[in-house]
Amino acid sequence: MTDTLNDQWQALKTLHATHKNREMLSLFDSDTQRAADFSADSHDMLLDYSKTNIDSGIRDALLALAQAADVTAKRDQMFAGAVINETEGRAVLHTALRNLDGDPVLVDGMDVLPEVRATLERMGDYADAVRVSDITDVVNIGIGGSDLGPAMAVQALSPYHDGPRVHFVSNVDGADVSDTLRGLDAKTTLVIVASKTFTTIETMTNARTARAWMLDGGGDPNAQFAALSTSDEKTAEFGIPPERVFGFEDWVGGRYSVWGPIGLSLMIGIGRRAFYAFLRGAQAMDVHFCAATGVENLPLMHALVGIWHNQICGHGTRAVLPYDQRLGKLPAYFQQLEMESNGKSVAMDGTALGRHSGPVVWGAPGTNGQHAFYQLIHQGTRVIPCEFLIAAEGHEPDLAHHHQLLVANCLAQSEALMRGRSMDDARSRMADKGLSGAELERQAAHRVFAGNRPSVTIAYPKLDPFVLGQIIALYEHRVFVEGVILGLNSYDQWGVELGKELATALQPVVEGTESVEGKDGSTQALVGFVQRHRT
């Protein structure tokens, strides 16, 4: 780490020590323009981070940190196709998948855009053909990035869905494939096998089961299977003809792949035009990320607020709370995006990170979460920075009053987190209820809200394909900036390998064809339990 970078981390720690007990509300008193000053917007999307303890001094220090980490130069390298995924020796170019009309992007001296656009066209032609065919149901079989992106987006964009029904199978648990295929007609179902590597054991197991199901049900796997992968060889081995294979390159990470072939099920569902609008939204965020400077830059500021809360204030988790029912799968999608990208203990050069990695990301849609886990967010002992997402309007004009209630709830939560409720206020409420003395004190204590808890709100006009593209790209770039500042590689995922290796080795042990000897006592006992209790 450079001395300047180190100095900036130290400066931020000092600022935190000085200001950590300050009331956020007081920042609004001293700056009547705070809401405008501490927000940024791009294409009608607003990022409001005014309900945090960040003031202009802290913000300057955060921006200086980004500068010391060379975020701008690294951003340009990423967009230009440099090998920034150093541990895998790959470029990181998911942005090329939505680069619908930009300048050439070179990898090994070759412009990748013609191929990207040709594949997109081929996907569009295929999607059009499926949409007018007898296919009634599409089943996407994939896991991780080959599942979460399209599954999240299909749900998010259901008002735009006018194609065949789309289903998702991801878990190797037979319950998933079995429950999904039950009730579908094998003769009118298209199965899309989505796997970047085409080796993932869960996906290949489910794909083989689906093929057997199709044959049993009188369908034709030779005509009703398509593949999305980087491996032509493996898709051919599986028996999927090249005209139904949609390929992409290794410079697209799994969790960043919804923009290309992995988005085929979404494209079939919402149609080519709406899918392009989705790409346009992401492209608009890319252009903004590259052009907007300093405080104007949404992904940069979103990342810096994240760094402030996690690495400086020490809040180790972050709640994603969409007040948008159709974004129900967004927290899970962001979990992979953020935790697989920035959940690392070593810096790019292999040395220890020296500070915490990215946070635990979790959440669920409001208002449901309010009636479940918000209790802890408001009164638990840990501070959990919250990220609220809210649309100005919904898709149900007849139910506008529902939407207004939804908005009121969203805004009330961030207000409550910041404002809290003092002991005096709680006491006077208990007095109004007729309590007094020790019982009043006891009851009042339970009704105190510490307040001063930070949140960020992302507001947008309506959850349409363009906006969904913006939201995802905003978070992708936020992860990039945080990764650069932490000095780690956001684009590998070695942490998933050990479990995979051990599972492969344990399969014959569980089946009983290999001995459990040599395993630890707990694993031996668990294998024994399973073997004794299965019929």
Residue numbers at the binding site for ligand F6P (CB under 6 A) = 143-146, 195-197, 200, 203, 254-255, 340, 493, 496
Element (H, E) at 97: helix 94-97
Q: Which of 371, 433, 446, 533 is catalytic?
A: 371
- Is 533 assigned a catalytic role? no
Minimum gap (Å) between residue 222 Cβ and ligand F6P: 22
> Across 123-279, where does the E strand assignment appear?
137-141, 165-169, 189-194, 225-229, 245-247
- Read off the amino acid at residue 462: K
Q: Which of 202, 338, 340, 476 is catalytic?
A: 340
DSSP letter assigned to residue 85: B
Pick between residue 41 and residue 250 the one whose CB is nearest to ligand F6P.
Answer: 250
Minimum gap (Å) between residue 197 Cβ and ligand F6P: 3
Minimum gap (Å) between residue 416 Cβ and ligand F6P: 37
Q: Which of 20, 356, 402, 500 is catalytic?
A: 500
Minimum gap (Å) between residue 16 Cβ and ligand F6P: 34
Rounded distance, CA 47 to CA 458, Å?
Answer: 5
Report the relative pairing of strands 39-42 and 45-48 from DSSP bridges.
antiparallel
- Is 371 assigned a catalytic role? yes
Pick between residue 349 and residue 497 the one whose CB is nearest to ligand F6P.
Answer: 497
The C-alpha torsion from 493 through 495 and 497 to 502, rounded to 10°, is: -160
Partners of 107 in beta bridges: 110
Minimum gap (Å) between residue 286 Cβ and ligand F6P: 21
Minimum gap (Å) between residue 233 Cβ and ligand F6P: 14
- Is 500 assigned a catalytic role? yes
In terms of C-beta density within 10 A (0-12 exposed, 13-18 middle, 19 or more buried), how is residue 518 classed? exposed
Element (H, E) at 154: helix 148-156
Pick between residue 189 and residue 203 the one whose CB is nearest to ligand F6P.
Answer: 203
Residue 252 corresponds to which tokens in the numbers above? 């697209």
The CA distances from residue 461 to 363, 394, 465, 482, in Å, are 22, 9, 12, 27
Pick between residue 24 and residue 332 the one whose CB is nearest to ligand F6P.
Answer: 332
Minimum gap (Å) between residue 330 Cβ and ligand F6P: 17
Pick between residue 140 and residue 200 the one whose CB is nearest to ligand F6P.
Answer: 200
Minimum gap (Å) between residue 170 Cβ and ligand F6P: 9
Rounded distance, CA 383 to CA 417, Å?
Answer: 10
DSSP letter assigned to residue 187: G
Of the candidates 105, 410, 98, the residue with the CA atom closest to the CA atom of residue 258: 98
Pick between residue 93 and residue 143 the one whose CB is nearest to ligand F6P.
Answer: 143
Residue 81 corresponds to which tokens in the numbers above? 């196709």
Of the candidates 160, 214, 162, the residue with the CA atom closest to the CA atom of residue 192: 214
For 36-84, give the DSSP string: HHTEEEETTEEEE--SSS--HHHHHHHHHHHHHTTHHHHHHHHHTT---
| In the block, residue with structure tokens 């051919």 | 236
Pick between residue 156 and residue 337 the one whose CB is nearest to ligand F6P.
Answer: 337
Pick between residue 197 and residue 379 the one whose CB is nearest to ligand F6P.
Answer: 197
The answer to whether 146 and 195 are in contact (CB under 8 A) is yes
The catalytic residue positions are 340, 371, 500
